[in-house]
């Protein structure tokens, strides 16, 4: 008689965000039957992926490559857009540069070389993209000029991407079980045999030849992030999915998986100081156009070190280190029209004043005189003869300051002035499981665990201290696709190499 508490399939995917759904689609197209286990209810589906703008980084040679992904872009439209170029080696160099040359070279190499083919593969699964006009391009002489190596986003943002991936999976007959958190892996001496999960409080099992863990990192687990990231990370605002609490990583570690990557660091950004955890609209990313000060009235980071999408993920940590984990972004009227969408709306914590003195009074907790002195020194240090151009690293810098502003330095002297109250918000964690280039999870005996694969945020080794914007989705898609394909092939060969 069938046991209603036990099912079986070829491949189980844990999680239903971007990495997981790419894995599920790839496993299915390589001939496997697939069941997806998702911890969240259907109404909150998609994990961190849902919270993204859907911005995705990939290598491309020219506008023709973009047209291969968006066939709807006609030649006339293309004449008004300058996508520039972003080669595989530029993407690879960015991965190395922003991680201080710590990124896993093999994984980063695969990520960059597979990025364009993976974009095409996503379109073959009916995922649609559009240019990111608003956030990654400014209009110059009537033409959109893109910058920062990231030019496309999914239609409908992260939610659109999740909806399309789920629709596609369901149309192919892939089962997604919601409110069904995976609890532990079933193993024997030959390797992975399935997953134990909970449904409506009842413990159940699915037996399978392969399991792909794609259940995100541990950014929403306050105890874990304080344990691994350290002091004050419990005080950070929590962004994105509340369900990424690290069980997927833990269940693999429990059977001897090797850990990898930067466990003491995370993607963390500056955003609204008073917004509750998990609320959308947290981030405040126009800081390259202004200055950032702490409650001592002092600047503490180079707002113009690089394009925003190469610095935003590391600056959250610096904000967390300031008194009361707080800071203020200051802008004047010259740059106000260039501020991003997120600076508008009712849920924005800001103060406005006609004079800097009045602004200083309104910024609660800020040392007034020190702030006014800092602004005076900063304004005097701006090299005004260098033209301002937000589309390129314009070299319009300060001179003589202990904390320079390297690009886009404008004096702050045209009222009304605006100050935005910010704190640190954690987006996702960088530490995770060690995989090889087949997305096979490695055992601490330095061999693959037969039948166990991982993709997305659960994987460690790609990002260290910092991260190039748009790489989270691409890493999930590239390694999800690789994991799905290899898991399906494994179920057909069912080769067992090592005891666990």
Ligand X SMILES: Cc1cc2nc3c(=O)[nH]c(=O)nc-3n(C[C@H](O)[C@H](O)[C@H](O)COP(=O)(O)OP(=O)(O)OC[C@H]3O[C@@H](n4cnc5c(N)ncnc54)[C@H](O)[C@@H]3O)c2cc1C
- Shortest Cβ 118–ligand X spacing (Å): 12
Residue 405 CB, nearest approach to ligand X (Å): 25
Between 246 and 451, CB nearer to ligand X: 246
Give the separation between CA 497 and CA 451, rounded to whole angstroms.
Answer: 10
Find all residues with CB under 8 Å of 414, minimum gap 6, and list them. 332, 333, 334
Residue closer to ligand X (CB basis): 184 or 296: 184
Nearer CB in complex with ligand X: 144/428: 428
Residue 20 or 367 with smaller CB distance to ligand X? 20
Which CB atom, from 158 or from 297, has the smaller least distance to ligand X?
158
Which candidate, 172, 177, 211, places its Cα nearest to that of 191? 211
Which residues is 210 bridged to in the sheet? 11
Q: Which residues pair with 137 in a beta bridge?
A: 146
d(CA 42, CA 274): 28
Q: Smallest distance, Å, CB 179 to ligand X?
A: 9
CB of 145 to ligand X, least distance (A): 20
How far is residue 240's CA from residue 264's CA, in Å, rounded to a whole number?
19
Judged by beta carbon, residue 83 or residue 428, the one nearer ligand X is: 428
DSSP assignment of 276-340 equals PTT-SS-B---GGGSEEE-TTS-B-S-TTSS-HHHHHHHHHHHHHTSGGGEEEEEE-TTTGGG--
Q: Which is nearer to ligand X, 15 or 461 (CB)?
A: 15
CB of 178 to ligand X, least distance (A): 9
Three-state DSSP at 239 gives coil
| Residues in Cβ contact with 332 at an 8 Å cutoff, skipping those fewer than 6 apart | 290, 410, 411, 412, 413, 414, 415, 417, 418
> CB of 196: closest distance to ligand X in angstroms?
11
Task: Identify the burial level of 113 via C-beta atoms within 10 angstroms of its C-beta, where 0-12 means exposed, 13-18 middle and 19 or more buried.
Answer: middle
Q: State the nearest-atom distance from the C-beta of 20 to ligand X, in Å.
A: 5
Q: In this complex, which beta carbon is closest to ligand X, that of residue 20 or of residue 73?
A: 20
Residues linked to residue 186 through DSSP beta bridges, in sequence order: 194
Query: Would you tell me which residues interact with ligand X (CB under 6 A)?
Result: 14-20, 37-40, 46-49, 51-56, 181-182, 214-216, 239-241, 243-244, 247-248, 427-428, 456-457, 470-473, 476
Least distance in angstroms from the C-beta of 206 to ligand X: 12
């Amino acid at each position: 008689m069938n046991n209603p508490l036990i099912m079986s399939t070829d491949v189980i995917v844990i999680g239903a965000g971007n990495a997981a759904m790419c894995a599920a689609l790839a496993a299915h197209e390589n001939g496997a039957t697939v069941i997806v286990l998702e911890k969240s209810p259907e109404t909150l589906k998609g994990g961190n992926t849902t919270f993204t703008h859907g911005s995705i980084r990939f290598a491309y040679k020219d506008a023709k490559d973009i047209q291969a992904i968006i066939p709807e872009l006609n030649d006339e439209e293309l004449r008004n857009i300058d996508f520039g170029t972003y080669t595989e080696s530029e993407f690879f160099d960015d991965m190395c540069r922003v991680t201080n040359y710590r990124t896993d070279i093999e994984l980063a190499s695969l990520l960059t070389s597979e990025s364009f083919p993976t974009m095409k593969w996503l379109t073959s699964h009916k995922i649609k993209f559009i240019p990111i006009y608003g956030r990654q391009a400014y209009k110059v002489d009537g033409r959109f000029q893109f910058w920062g190596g990231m030019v496309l986003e999914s239609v409908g943002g992260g939610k659109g991407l999740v909806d399309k991936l789920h629709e596609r999976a369901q149309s192919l007959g892939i089962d997604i079980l919601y409110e069904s958190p995976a609890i532990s892996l079933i193993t024997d001496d030959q390797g992975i045999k399935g997953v134990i999960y909970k449904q409506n409080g009842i413990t159940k099992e699915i037996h399978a030849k392969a399991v792909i863990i794609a259940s995100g990192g541990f950014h929403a687990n306050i105890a874990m992030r304080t344990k691994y990231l350290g002091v004050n990370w419990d005080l950070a605002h929590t962004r994105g999915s509340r369900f990424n609490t690290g069980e997927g990583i833990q269940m693999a570690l429990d059977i001897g998986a090797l850990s990898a990557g930067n466990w003491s660091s995370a993607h963390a950004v500056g955003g609204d100081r008073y917004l509750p955890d998990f609320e959308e609209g947290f981030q405040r990313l126009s800081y390259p156009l202004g200055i950032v000060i702490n409650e001592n009235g002092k600047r503490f980071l180079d707002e113009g070190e690089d394009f925003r999408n190469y610095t935003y993920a590391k600056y959250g940590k610096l904000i967390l280190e300031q008194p009361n984990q707080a800071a203020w972004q200051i802008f004047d009227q010259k740059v106000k029209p260039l501020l991003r969408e997120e600076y508008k709306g009712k849920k924005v914590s800001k103060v406005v004043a006609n004079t800097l003195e009045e602004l200083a009074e309104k910024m609660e907790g800020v040392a007034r005189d020190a702030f006014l002195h800092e602004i005076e020194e900063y304004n005097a240090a701006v090299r005004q003869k260098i033209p301002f151009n937000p589309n390129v690293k314009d070299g319009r810098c300060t001179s003589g300051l202990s904390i320079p502003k390297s690009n886009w330095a404008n004096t702050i002297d045209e009222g009304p002035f605006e100050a935005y109250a910010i704190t640190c918000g954690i987006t996702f964690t960088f530490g995770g499981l060690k995989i090889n280039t087949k997305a096979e999870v490695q055992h601490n005996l330095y061999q693959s665990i037969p039948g166990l694969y991982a993709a997305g945020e659960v994987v460690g080794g790609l990002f260290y201290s910092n991260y190039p914007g748009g790489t989270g989705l691409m890493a999930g898609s590239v390694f999800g696709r690789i994991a799905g394909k290899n898991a399906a092939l494994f179920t057909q060969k069912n080769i067992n190499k090592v005891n666990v």
